[in-house]
Each structure stands twice: as C-alpha cells, then as structure tokens.
Amino acid sequence: MFESPIPLLILLMPLIGFLINGVVLPLVHGGFAKTSAKEAGTVATFAIFASFILAVVGVWGLGGHLEHGESPALMNTAYNWLEIGNLKIPFELRIDRLSSVLVLVITGVGSLIHLYSIGYMAHEECVGRYFSYLNLFCFAMLLLVMGNNLPLLFFGWEGVGLCSYLLIGFWYADTEKANAGKKAFIVNRIGDLGFLIGMFLLYRTFGTLTISEIREAILNGHTVVPAALATGICLALFVGATGKSAQIPLFVWLPDAMSGPTPVSALIHAATMVTAGVYMIARLNPLFDLSPVAMSVIAHIGAFTALMAGTIAIAQKDIKKVLAYSTVSQLGFMFLACGVGAYQTAIFHLMTHAFFKALLFLGSGSVIHACSGEQDMTKMGGLKKHLPHTYRTMLMGSLAISGIPIFSGFFSKDEILYSSIALPNGHAPLFIIGMITAALTAIYTGRMLAITFFGKERLDHEKMHHLHESPSTMLIPLYVLAFLATFGGLLGIPHLLGRALGHLPHVLSHWLDPVIQTRELPEVGVQLGLHEGLVMFGSVILAIGCFTLGFRAFREKFNIAEFIPSLAGLQKIFENKYYVDEIYNALVVVPLRKLADFSANIIDKLVIDNLVVSIGRATRDLGKRIRVIQTGDLQTYALGMGVGLVVILWMAYKILP
C-alpha cells in the first residue's frame, strides 16, 4: 500500500472534461447548441481515455506485488473532507485488486461508448450538454469504486443517480422521456434511504466509516457483531443495492431508462450505475458473511429477479426493452452469486457482462440509427444484408450472453450456476432457477437476433430508402467490444478445464485473492450426482439448444402465443411486465397523489392559508385601532411620553425594595 497521484488523476480527468464541455465551450461558443458533436465528443472521449491509460499504468504497478501475497493498493489522500467530533472522513481514494477491475471497465468501456456517441449524436442538438453529463457520470462512478470510505462511496452513489436522471431525461421536451428520468431518480432515492440506515448502523457498530478499517475489524475479530445486528445492517445496505442495481422490488426504473439516447443505456446498463450494488456487496463481503439470513435473501431475490426479468424479455417487441430486461436478469445472476458467497464469480460476470451488454446496446443503437429511429423489432426484419458489420458484432454479443463456448458469458455464467449448487450457501432450487433463466436468456437473445436481422423486410419504404450502415466512429467500438465479448472470458478459465489444459490459471481469481479470498468449489456428486463437468456440459447443451430454438422459431412469428394459442394469457402477462407498474401505481402512486391533493386543497388552503390570512387580518385590524394615536401633534406625543415615564417610575417604586 503506497501513496500515488494516479487515483486522483484518474478521477480528475472526466471532471475536467465535464467542466470544459459544460462551462468553457458554452462560454466560448455562446451556448450548448453551438458546440458540435465532434468537438464536444473529442474532449469528452479524450478525458475518459486519459483516465483509462492512467488506470492501466496503475494496475500494472499493482501486478508487481502479486508474488509477495500482499494486498497491494494505490492510495491518495487529497485532504480532510469532514471532521465532526470523533468522525473523521478524509477524501481518500484507493485502487486495489477489486476496485482496479471496476476502474478498467468504467474507463475502458466508457471510452468506447464516448467514441460511439460522436457518431450516434452527430445530428442532435445541445450535444455539449450530453457529453458533459457523460463525463460527469464516469466521474461519479469512479468516485464510487475508488472511495475508501462509505461517505465518499455514497457521494458517488448519489452522483450516478443524478447523472442517470439528467441523461435519461436528456430529451426533456418529450414528457414521457422526462418522466422516465424522474422515475429513475425517485425509485433510487427509496433505495438510498436503506443505504443511509445501513451506514449509520455501521458507524454506531464500528466507530468508523472507512471501508478498509471495517473489513479489518471483522476479519481480525476486533469487533464482535451480533447476528441480528449484522443481518439488519446487511439488509439495509441491500435495499440500497436493489434500487441502484434494479432488483425486486425496485427494478421498475431500469426498463424506462431506455428513454435516453442509446449510448446512455449502454453506459448505465453495462459499465457503470447498475453494477454499483454488486460492487458494494463484494467490497463489504466480510460483513455479509456474518449474516447467513441476509445472504439467503440476496441469493433468492437475485434468482427470482433473474427469472422474472427473463420471462418479460422473451415477450418484448422493443429491441432496447429486450436488452433492458436482460440486464435486470443478468444482474440477478450476479446477486445470486453474491448470495451464495461466490463474490469473485459475481465480479467476473460483472466484467464479462460489461463487454457483451455494452456491445448489444451499441449494436441495437446502430440498428435504430440505420432504421431512422425505429425500435420495434417486428417492423424490421432482413437487416443482415444491409447492416453486415452490425450483424456480425451483435451475433458475437448474442452468443456471449447466451453462454455459448468460447464466448465470455459461457465462463462466468457457468461459474455462477456451479457455485449455486456447490457452495455451502447454495442449494438445488437456486441452481434450477439459474438453469431456467439461462435457457430463457438464450431463447430471447436468439429471438431478438432472428426478428431483427432475418425473415422478410418489414420496414416501410421511407425507412428502407434511408437504411445505411453506421459510420466508423460507431463501428470501431462495436468491433473492440466484440473482441472482448469473445475472448474476455479466458481470464476465468474453469478449474476443470484449467486442469485438463495443463493447469492453466484462473487469472481473475488469482488477481482478486488479496481482497476476496477464493472459495474452493468442491464436487457435489455426493449431493446430487453432479459435478463441474456435468454442470458445464448440461449448460452448454442447454445454451446451444435454446439459442437455436429462439433463432429458428421466431423469424416470422414474434411471440409464444403464435405457437401455442393456449398461452395467450401468459404472453399478455409477460408483455405487460406482470403489471408491476400498474400495481405500484394503484397501491403507491395514486394514494400519494390523493394525499397530496387532500393536503393541497384541504390542509393547505383551508387550514394553513386561513391561519396565515387570519394572523394577517388580526395584525391589520390591530394596526387600524392603534394608528389613531398617531396624530402628528408634538404636544400630544410629549404628553404621552410624560405619562409613560410616570407609569414606569411608579412601577419601579412598587417593585423595587
């Protein structure tokens, strides 16, 4: 552990980009509207790419300590941020083996998304505002993962919430898009209340909010935490995670986040905001290990969220909505891994998901860009020959998320499935739900690819006339992400394959060992006659079969009810997302609006307004009565003063001894 300016420089680069695009260029050009996408995009992309280069340099330095078995970290304490009594909170940044993975993902994938945005937003207005928000988003997420204390983490936590509101509602003139931004902001505030409660309980228990000190106190046994208190703290923190990472019951904001520009969807869903909850739990893993109850809740919420979102995704027509619910489902996989204690596997899937989900979102953006804004897949079809580069890259992303070997999703997804049955906190129902969800993932991904790129052409004549492949600024990020989505999983070769191929290491596992201890995955043949090889084989067969099924079955038919009419009711439930928004509207939104109307029309107008008005009227009436003594006659005033003086002297004579 040693002091270094690198963490602070990594953090400052996107902040500088934000200030240049948000303040300097508007002053130079006379407003956001006069800044071109090329100019603003170049500044923003250079800023975040500079952070990526610095991150690579910093991570290279961390790698040099691997052989010593240490827990190396780059530290930077800029200044003492807050000091209230015994509470001391420095502005302290830390890059260790865990946060380095997130920093590389945020800056690396973020740089590609910034570059892609130059082409995607070329014809939009106020792009300077867009790119300034994009840089600010990355700044907040970097602060979240590098902050060495919970207040700094929470500051970044709130920062990404603010930026999501600004970017989702970027086209705020459209009421629907503005409402989507507000929905994301409000739902996340509900979860953040739980996070704050957890933070208060942590300070009361440990007397510190520094993450490294909390971890050390637990690992070394310096602080004994009762099981009930540990459960309360962990569940409170998990409430915050359900908001930020879109899990039941606070997942409803994430699909609506599609209202923003598509690169925003890629940034939120792949590289930044939604991974915050998973990172927080992995960072505080010794704390969560203290509560088997909380771990069970996390695992089951993750599993059911994954399954629920998977069934919804299979019935959506909007290409971005399919990917949105896919993100909710994949995040459920990550929480399932955290809940059974496979924190390293959760981070592994977080990384591979960043590659293939960013690729799929940017690929969908390329499709939408080519189709003049059309997002309904059922109105597309036959795009393969018109968009060959987009098709090839999206195919690689689709194979990765479906878990097809050798693509990255195969490695991380299989680790989660095996962990859900092999580790002590896992059990058969979680494994079965995971397998069903994996099958659904392959089906709806094959369906999306088939409806969009195959079958007959369904675009109207005007959109077909303008159909075109995306520019190079959009295609280069697609191919880079396609490469990462294809080979990124080789950082985590399964133990069984590693042994068979000459003891190839699980690189990511060894990298994370100093921060998150490896959980050995035993064979579970004694329990269910399963072991890693059988799980892997079954998963591969399931992935290939279901992807092929989805790909072939939905070229001309778009939903399951067209194959099995008796499932029309179920199809409608899936299409309408289990009516969760309608239920929330009836149980929460409408009652709150009625309460607000009652407060405004009855309490405010009849009680508060009348009280204030009555006080004003009483004061005015008193003034009318008193002002008669204001005659303007000096002799009268002198007489009044004399009488007053006599009264004061008489009272003093009576009161004083």
pLDDT value of residue 233: 95
Q: Tell me the C-alpha distance between 482 and 491, whole Å.
A: 16
Contacts of 64 (CB under 8 A, 6+ apart): 72
Strands 74-84 and 2-3: parallel
Give 371-395 pLDDT, tens digit per residue: 888 898 988 888 999 999 999 999 9
**Is 267 among the domain residues?**
yes
- Which is higher by pLDDT, 347 or 609? 347
The type of residue at 288 is F
For residue 276, give both structure tokens. Answer: 């915050």
**Is 164 among the domain residues?**
no
**Do 623 and 486 lie in a common domain?**
no
**Do 478 and 518 lie in a common domain?**
yes
Contacts of 373 (CB under 8 A, 6+ apart): none
Which of 526, 556, 575 lies at the terminal end of a domain, its last residue?
575
Q: Tell me the C-alpha distance between 413 and 438, whole Å.
A: 8
pLDDT value of residue 280: 94
**Is 180 among the domain residues?**
no
pLDDT value of residue 586: 92
**Is 233 among the domain residues?**
yes
Which of 148, 170, 194 lies at the terminal end of a domain, its last residue?
148
- pLDDT at residue 10 is higher than 80: yes
For residue 62, give both structure tokens. Answer: 């961390």
The type of residue at 482 is A
Strands 2-3 and 87-95: unpaired
For residue 313, give both structure tokens. Answer: 């995704």
Strands 74-84 and 87-95: antiparallel
- pLDDT at residue 523 is higher than 60: no
| 588-601 average pLDDT score | 87
| 67-96 average pLDDT score | 81
pLDDT value of residue 520: 65
Q: What is the mean pLDDT of the chain?
A: 88
**Distances from the Cα of 18 to the Cαs of 142, 149, 185, 241, 639, in angstroms?**
14, 24, 21, 27, 71
Region of 467 please: left (phi>0), alpha (psi -120 to 50) or beta. beta
**Do 307 and 343 lie in a common domain?**
yes
pLDDT band for position 68 (cuts 50, 70, 90): very low
Residue 584, burial from CB neighbour count under 10 angstroms (0-12, 13-18, 19+): middle
pLDDT band for position 37 (cuts 50, 70, 90): confident
**Do 329 and 469 lie in a common domain?**
yes
Cα of first residue to Cα of last residue in the chain, in angstroms, is 77
**Is 155 among the domain residues?**
no
Tell me: cis bond preceding 249? Omega within 30 of 0 counts: yes
Which of 127, 148, 169 lies at the terminal end of a domain, its last residue?
148
Q: What share of the chain is helix, strand, coil (3-state, %, to 5)?
A: 75, 5, 20
Q: Which secondary structure element, helix H or strand E, spans residue 76, and what is its range?
A: strand 74-84
**Do 614 and 548 lie in a common domain?**
no
pLDDT value of residue 427: 86
**Do 349 and 205 lie in a common domain?**
yes
Number of helices (H), then strands (E), in the chain: 30, 3
Ranking 279-293, 483-497, 517-531, 547-561 by mean pLDDT, the lowest is 517-531
**Do 272 and 241 lie in a common domain?**
yes
Give 145-193 pLDDT, tens digit per residue: 999 999 999 999 999 999 999 999 888 888 888 998 899 899 999 999 9
User: In DSSP terms, which residues pair with 3 in a beta bridge?
Assistant: 75
Percent residues over pLDDT 70 in the chain: 95
**Do 530 and 598 lie in a common domain?**
no
Strands (E), 86-141: 87-95
Count the Cβ atoms, other than its own, within 10 Å of residue 603. 12
pLDDT band for position 521 (cuts 50, 70, 90): low
Q: CA torsion 569→572→578→582, rounded to 10°? A: -120
pLDDT band for position 67 (cuts 50, 70, 90): very low
For residue 252, give both structure tokens. Answer: 């409803």
- pLDDT at residue 110 is higher than 70: yes
**Do 389 and 244 lie in a common domain?**
yes
pLDDT value of residue 522: 60
**Is 316 among the domain residues?**
yes
**Do 567 and 616 lie in a common domain?**
no
What's the pTM value of the predicted model, to 2 decimals?
A: 0.89
**Is 161 among the domain residues?**
no
> Whose CA is closest to 116, among 319, 318, 360?
360
> The domain containing residue 603 runs over which residues?
580-655
Domain count, the chain: 3
- Which is higher by pLDDT, 356 or 426? 356
Percent residues over pLDDT 90 in the chain: 49
Between 127-146 and 150-168, two packed helices, what is the crossing angle to 10 degrees?
A: 160
Give 620-648 pLDDT, tens digit per residue: 888 888 777 777 778 888 888 888 899 88
**Do 120 and 265 lie in a common domain?**
no
**Is 166 among the domain residues?**
no
Q: Tell me the C-alpha distance between 317 and 324, whole Å.
A: 12
**Do 518 and 601 lie in a common domain?**
no
Q: What is the 3-state secondary structure of 220-245?
A: CCCCCCCHHHHHHHHHHHHHHHHHHC
For residue 579, give both structure tokens. Answer: 């009516």
Q: Tell me the C-alpha distance between 24 and 27, whole Å.
A: 5
Q: Tell me the C-alpha distance between 126 and 110, whole Å.
A: 20
